Structure 1
Amino acid sequence: MQIDIIETTGLGDRSYLISAGGVGVVVDPQRDIDRVLALTEKRGVQIALVLETHLHNDYLTGGLELARTVGADYAVPAGDTVAFERTPATDGDVLAAGPMRLRVLHTPGHTHHHVSYVLTDADGAVQAVFTGGSMLYGSTGRTDLVGPDHTDELTHAQYHSVRRLVDELPAGTPVFPSHGFGSFCAATPTSGDSSTVGEQARVNPALTQDEQTFVDELIAGLTAIPAWYAHMGPGNAAGPAPVDLSMPKPVDPAELADRLAAGEWVIDLRSRTAFAAGHLPGALNFELAIANFVTYVGWLVPWGAPLTLIGETGQQVADARRELVRIGIDRLAGAAIGSPEQLAAGRQLDSYPVSDFPGLAAAMAADPDLVVVDARRDDERAGGGVRGSVHIPIHELTDRIDEVPGGEVWVYCGSGYRASIAASLLARAGRRPVLVDGGYGDPDTGAAAAGLHAQPATV
């Protein structure tokens, strides 16, 4: 049997194609199913079975469309109420696909009805386990996505689910989770790119801690939930519409100027330094960096708001489009392609300075009253921050921008990515931002190296 990993780096997730004897099984596919179809063609297999470990909260699934496209059976946890025909996956069921067998284990915790799939050959020998949002590498799936009233119950359930996997499976069983590679569905940071059941027995908190310690520490470590998550579970239960990866309609410079003047969400996909050097007034910078782009567009742009993309090339816009459909942002208002100078059509561009933490230290020494904004999350700020900085997490900035004084504002985050978004939001609001482009924790040029890091009590 061959197991192919299909990475979705922008969301920190993995899907899987299992191949054996010309037959394929797909686990937790993302919505852009053309990647899966291309891989099945390469492997020379026909998909017979598509499996979901749970109704996902961080993306819209491609499972329903994939199953319909290839004529495969579509298995979804039996306890979930959905608006389409499916094969209910119930604890103890064994689903067959060619020489492969997939045994269903109910592993609640990430959701109430979450299941894992144990892959065996026709003789019953265990080959792997697909754990979705249950057992992750050195962690587990978060337990607060169903709602705060269920978090304690589901955290206890997660503890027992992970232990069930260890109790019932050989130590050498390879573990293949769907979350945990940067996904906000992980309860705590994960470690590594591969693992086995036996290794997890030695390192996973659900297996090295007593139950109440595990529950208390997991709940205490839960971070903010991205805003778009609220729409994914209902969308997956209803059944996502077929994916549309076509190019958005073109927007000419005059229309683009009108949209910017109206304060619409117009997103420039270029690098943060290129944007800072020159951009259309009112545009916002969400750099098309695979690991962050879709997370922060989904988190900050109000759901359903008209969204226009600005790209230097058609491919850049197409790549952004692919990222966005994965979380259900389907109806783009359009896209403009070209350089800022071309799209400005004679109008003056805006710009703002870019610096780093040593530059910030020098500026603060010259002006003790300098306004500095920390755009990191609460859990990051809990470890300290630049002394005297105002803490406004990036996902709260649009609602709290009036808290930022007028004039010059320096803004930083953990890497520079969120700070670039914040700087563009501040510029649109009439402030004069300076982007601190650098890693907060960088040992050579970060905040501590520049003498700026202060402990929580003194920030």
Structure 2
Amino acid sequence: MKVEQIYTGCLAEAAYYIESDGEAAIIDPLRETQPYLERAEADGAKIKYVLETHFHADFVSGHLDLAKKTTATIVFGPTAQPNFKAHVAKDGEILKLGKVSIVVLHTPGHTMESSTYLLRDENGQDYALFTGDTLFLGDVGRPDLAVKTDLSREDLAGHLFDSLRNKIMPLADEVIVYPGHGAGSACGKKMSKETWGTLGMQKQVNYALRTNMSRAEFVKEVTEGLVDPPQYFPKNAVMNKMGYESFDEVRDRALQALSVRAFKAAWEEEEALVIDTRHQDEFAKGFIPGSIFIGIDDNFAPWVGALVPDLKQPILFIADAGREDEIVTRLSRVGYDNAIGYLEGGFNTWKEAGEEVDQIAEISAEDFAKIYSSSKVNLLDARRSSEYETQHVQSAISFPLDFINRGMSTIDREKTYYVHCAGGYRSMIAVSIFKSRGFTNIINIQGGFKALQATNLPLSELVEQVTEL
């Protein structure tokens, strides 16, 4: 028996590969199928099952393409109603995989179809539990991401309380917990940086598994501090439930190298959004007017998902040579399937063609400190509100990048604003969006809050951190 976690850091997402006696199962795969096909081929194994713990909201799963390429059976837990061929398992149903077995445990709460998969080894002993978004290390799944339900988040939290106490906590302490996400995911609030552990340890340290916890206490603690999920979450959940276009077709359409002339024509004809994926330092030095920055070397896909409202928005992109496929893959993971090409030769081709170029106005943290006046300087803090509440520059305005579309109307075009985040990535996204919408008096602070802390600026007193997600 082999069990492997396939972890994708930019989404804080864990897929799993289980193999026994030539048969394999994949749990919660990402959109691209090749890594799973290659892993099974290396073992000479046939993929028998694609197991889905629920209809995911934070990414588009690869279950449909993977099943088509392998003839594997897609499995969901009880109450799921997928719009495609799949096996909807019964609670307690046993799936045979080589010499091992997998027990389907219906654990509603995060969503009503949410299920966990209990792996039993060759001797029939409980070995590992694949918990999806029901149980994380240090946390549990937020109960407000279900697709089209009449249940409130408090109702769902109550179901989650029952699922944890009746299905998961009675299992042996030595059972390994393999969750669907780790720290950084918006599917929970207090997730550990560790990506696997034992159930016994979770019983000791996870606030949601306290044995003396009442249902009312559980519901209150699980639901407090929740803010609106990223806008793409419900849309991804619908794609996972209803089906989607093959990733191979999405990729073929997106990987079109366009000349400057063809790029400009597609931009105008398709009313496309142009995303520049280079490093923020390179973007600041020069970029195509009207494009926005979302760099590939950070949480690229989640930020596209948070900031681009329409999944069907035509997208053109600027990329460093050799990274085009990576960009298309990461876009498709969160449901943006309408990339229509990239600029051949990248930004340098645009500049060499004599086309118009813009730059970002920037200032160092040290120079900002010299001109700082709490009563005269307009300072926007683009970090999450939880980061702002922990500590911020006095007089700074909390302006989370997550909700920039909502807050844009509060900004006076006639005033000058300075923008910072933690290290420079998010503020560059924010400034680029301001620029694309005609704001001219926006200045990025290099190095973000980390650099500002090293100056003599007055900071708010450190307060107890307020959890946002």
TM-score normalized by structure 1? 0.91
Equivalent-residue separation in structure 2 for 1:118 and 1:140 (angstroms) = 17
Query: Which of 430, 437, 442 matches 1:433?
Result: 442
- Residues 100, 122 of structure 2: 8 Å contact kept: yes
Please name the residue that 2:51 is paired with.
51
- Structure 1 counterpart of 2:447, which letter? G
- Structure 2 counterpart of 1:182, which letter? G
Name the SS for the 1:124 alignment partner.
Answer: coil
Name the SS for the 1:140 alignment partner.
Answer: coil
Q: Which moved more, 1:224-233 or 1:165-174?
A: 165-174
Post-superposition offset of 1:402 = 3.6
Query: Which of 308, 318, 327 matches 1:310?
Result: 318
Q: Which moved more, 1:320-329 or 1:428-437?
A: 428-437
The runs of 4+ residues in structure 1 deviating greater than 6 Å are 259-263
Instruction: Kindly provide the CA deviation profile for residues 200-232 of structure 1, in whole angstroms up to 9, marking residues without a partner as x.
Output: 000111113623333222211223311111211
Equivalent-residue separation in structure 2 for 1:114 and 1:356 (angstroms) = 48
Change in Cα spacing, 1:298 to 1:167, as seen in structure 2 (3 Å) is closer
Q: What's the C-alpha RMSD, in Å, of the aligned pairs?
A: 2.4
Change in Cα spacing, 1:409 to 1:148, as seen in structure 2 (3 Å) is farther
- Residues 138, 191 of structure 1: 8 Å contact kept: no
Q: 1:232-271 alignment to 2 at 5 Å? A: 232-244=236-248, 245-246=251-252, 247-257=254-264, 264-271=272-279
- Structure 2 counterpart of 1:120, which letter? R
Query: Which of 299, 303, 323 matches 1:292?
Result: 299
Change in Cα spacing, 1:450 to 1:160, as seen in structure 2 (3 Å) is farther
**2:330 equivalent to 1:330:** no
Change in Cα spacing, 1:217 to 1:452, as seen in structure 2 (3 Å) is farther
Change in Cα spacing, 1:260 to 1:411, as seen in structure 2 (3 Å) is farther
Change in Cα spacing, 1:219 to 1:253, as seen in structure 2 (3 Å) is same
Name the SS for the 1:169 alignment partner.
Answer: coil
- Residues 260, 281 of structure 1: 8 Å contact kept: no
Change in Cα spacing, 1:180 to 1:160, as seen in structure 2 (3 Å) is farther
Work out the number of aligned pairs and report it: 451
Please name the residue that 1:155 is paired with.
157
Q: Which moved more, 1:247-256 or 1:424-433?
A: 247-256
Equivalent-residue separation in structure 2 for 1:158 and 1:355 (angstroms) = 49
Q: 1:157-172 alignment to 2 at 5 Å? A: 157-172=159-174
Q: 1:116-131 alignment to 2 at 5 Å? A: 116-131=116-131
Change in Cα spacing, 1:78 to 1:414, as seen in structure 2 (3 Å) is same
Please name the residue that 2:399 is paired with.
392
- Residues 248, 334 of structure 1: 8 Å contact kept: yes
Post-superposition offset of 1:105 = 1.1
**2:216 equivalent to 1:210:** no
- Structure 2 counterpart of 1:227, which letter? Q
Equivalent-residue separation in structure 2 for 1:320 and 1:355 (angstroms) = 30
Post-superposition offset of 1:72 = 1.6
- Residues 78, 106 of structure 2: 8 Å contact kept: no
Change in Cα spacing, 1:122 to 1:278, as seen in structure 2 (3 Å) is same
Please name the residue that 2:191 is paired with.
189
Change in Cα spacing, 1:310 to 1:128, as seen in structure 2 (3 Å) is same
Please name the residue that 1:135 is paired with.
135
Change in Cα spacing, 1:216 to 1:330, as seen in structure 2 (3 Å) is same
Post-superposition offset of 1:448 = 7.4
Equivalent-residue separation in structure 2 for 1:149 and 1:379 (angstroms) = 28
Instruction: Kindly provide the CA deviation profile for residues 132-185 of structure 1, in whole angstroms up to 9, marking residues without a partner as x.
Output: 001101111111112695200111222332233543321111111112342211
Change in Cα spacing, 1:261 to 1:448, as seen in structure 2 (3 Å) is farther
Q: Which moved more, 1:391-400 or 1:411-420?
A: 391-400
Post-superposition offset of 1:324 = 0.8
Equivalent-residue separation in structure 2 for 1:165 and 1:223 (angstroms) = 28
Post-superposition offset of 1:397 = 1.9
Post-superposition offset of 1:67 = 2.0
Gap regions ≥5 residues in structure 1 = none
Query: Which of 373, 376, 379 matches 1:372?
Result: 379
Change in Cα spacing, 1:451 to 1:430, as seen in structure 2 (3 Å) is closer
**2:370 equivalent to 1:362:** yes
- Structure 1 counterpart of 2:460, which letter? A
Name the SS for the 2:339 alignment partner.
Answer: coil
- Residues 265, 301 of structure 1: 8 Å contact kept: no
- Residues 9, 181 of structure 1: 8 Å contact kept: no
